[in-house]
Each structure stands twice: as C-alpha cells, then as structure tokens.
Amino acid sequence: MSGRGSRMGTFAVVVLVLVLAGGAWWWLTADDGSGADLLSVTSDVERLDGASRAREFVPASEHRGMAEGDGVSVNDAGRARLEMSGCVLDVFRATTLHVEGVPSLSAPVCLTQMTHGTIYGKVTTRTVVGTDWAVVTASGTEFLVFVDEAIGLLWVIVADGYVEVEAEEVTVALTAGEQAWVWRGDPPVGPVPAWRSEVPDVDMFPPLDELTNGAIPDDRLLEPGDEGEGPDEGDGEGEGEPLGLELRQSTDEVVVPECTGDRQVEVFAIVTGPDEAVAEVRTASIAYGWNGETVDVFAMERVDDRTFRAVIQPDYQYDSADPDGRTTLVFTVTLRGLNRATLAETSGETALQWCIG
C-alpha cells in the first residue's frame, strides 16, 4: 500500500517535471497575488484551515480565500466550487479535498489531494489530483474523479481532453470518452470506453447522479455500452464452465505451544476451470481464526497460474471455554480478479490443540 511518504514523493516528481517544462516562463508572467477561491454552493460546506486546524462552516453563496494547506469538506447534502488560476473544481457530496499547491505561490500547477468523494474538473492549467495510492494529471480538459478511501478505489472518467493516471510506477493516458480506475496497491485498469457496462460493480462504482446529488446524470459521461459483451460470452466448447477452487492442507491438527506435533498448517489453493477463467484470477487471500473470530487475513503466495500457498502458524492461547484446550481453526481462501471482485471462495478447517500442564 502506498503511504503518505510515497505519495509525497510522487508529487515531488510531478512538480519537478512540470517546472522544468514550463516553470521558467510561468514565473516571469504569473500574478503573484492570485490564490484560490472557495464558493459554498450550499450551506453544507466547511473550510479547513491548514495553519490553525480550525473548521469554518461557509454559508451558501459565500466565498472564502484558500491558501496552500487549506481544505474543503462537503457533507452528504453539500456542494462547493474551488477555483485556482485556470483550475475549476466542482466538489460534490461526502468529499474532502486539500490544496497542496496554488500556481501563483509554488509552481505552474494546481496541486490537490483527495481523501474521498467526487470532483468534476474544468481546467486549463495543469492540475494534479492525488490520493495515497494514485495520481491524476490533467490539462485543458474536463474530467470526473471519484475516490472511495474505505475500499481503496480511484475512478476517473474523461469528458474532454487528455488525462494521465499513475499508480505503482505505471501510467495510462485517457482521452475523451474513456475511463480508468485504480485499486490501492495495483496499477491502473484501463483505459476502457466510458460505458456503464464496462464498470465492474455498480455498488463500488455508484451512478453519477448519486455521487453528485443529481448534478451530473450518469448518462452524461457514461454510455450504456453493450451489455452483451463480457468475458463469459462465447459459444466455444467448454466456455461458460465455472471457476473452481480446491483446498489441500498439510495436517488435520495443529498444536501449540509445548505440544508434540505439527505447529503449523500449510494450505494450498488449487484453481480449477478453463484457462480463460483462470487467467482472470489476480490474487488469493486467506483469512483464519477460531471461536467465531477472525485472527488474521493475508495474501497467499502464488506458486504458478493455478496454485497459491500459505502457511498458518497460530498463536492460540488456552480459553477455558474450550474443553481440554481444544478448538477448531477455520480458514477461508478468496480469489479476486483485477477489479477486486470475488471470483471464488471456499473454506477448510483443522483441529487446534493447546497442551495443558
């Protein structure tokens, strides 16, 4: 997972490139007195002061000046507009956005950082929208960015112009009528046509009407697309066969701590089904626990295209509710695709024994 340090490093590289490309001319011609202006379209908007950490509710139709480090927070019913020397961002419901660079103050680029929410940009100045795991760079364009911090998703749709999306040292370029998304820790997926049918899961990629409180209809930026297309379509022999998952384990009992026997269980997850379906599997994770509680979740090692491996060495402590210090260790393996959708899931178990005395 990319943290704030790596995100700030990415920002530094972006700013350096932009300054070298056009910074000298910009600094000779820029108006040093310009800054950022926040307009509260509704009354459900807060200005976040970067210096004092104070929060100020901004009444509807009123303006506030914004400096580097300041932010804006919009609640579920709110809407705001942020303007910075050629960068106009409409900030919609449930959004938090911070100003990290104003063109006349730091560099020839608008720098912002999103925590979560939705913005729609109309920009002529080079504009960077960052998250902790991806960076969006736009100039002379109109685009929408949606960020869901909870699930680690960034989604970009381009209405006009050119946008770049970078994550995990991979950059993809989008033009009008295209979209892309980035899961935390993964490179970008896309570009793909800006069709609703291309979106993996409407629960994770909500209708634009919902994200913008009706200001941007879904069909304004997303065409319906071809609902008949998809990875499961086809009439070839064997196509449509479901993906399967089988588990194999090294032992039926794990002992801890001063017992005689196996102290760990090795779990192999075997993916079954046609090669086309297996190729869709991106990751496998394993969760384990006992007594109805999950103790840990972690990624499995990929051995080959169809095999994943994990080793569980439980740190089980004796519970008087378990007769004779014995309980059951339960583990669940989940296969996920590029869009993090669950492709297959199955569970197994082994006895877990604590030696008493």
* pLDDT tens, position by position, 25-59: 333 334 444 568 888 898 789 889 888 888 898 88
User: In whole angstroms, what is the distance from residue 276 CA to residue 155 CA?
Assistant: 26
* pLDDT tens, position by position, 292-337: 788 888 888 988 889 999 999 887 665 555 556 678 889 999 888 7
Q: In the prediction, which pLDDT does 339 show?
A: 55
CB neighbour list of residue 32: distance below 8 Å, 6 or more residues apart: 104, 105
User: In this structure, are residues 255 and 223 in contact, taking their beta carbons and an 8 Å threshold?
Assistant: no
What would the CATH number be for the domain defined by 244-354? Answer: 2.60.40.2550
On whether the pTM is more than 0.95, the answer is no
Fold of 4-221: Jelly Rolls (2.60.120)
Residue boundaries of the structural domains of the chain: 4-221, 244-354
Burial (Cβ within 10 Å: 0-12, 13-18, ≥19) of residue 84? buried
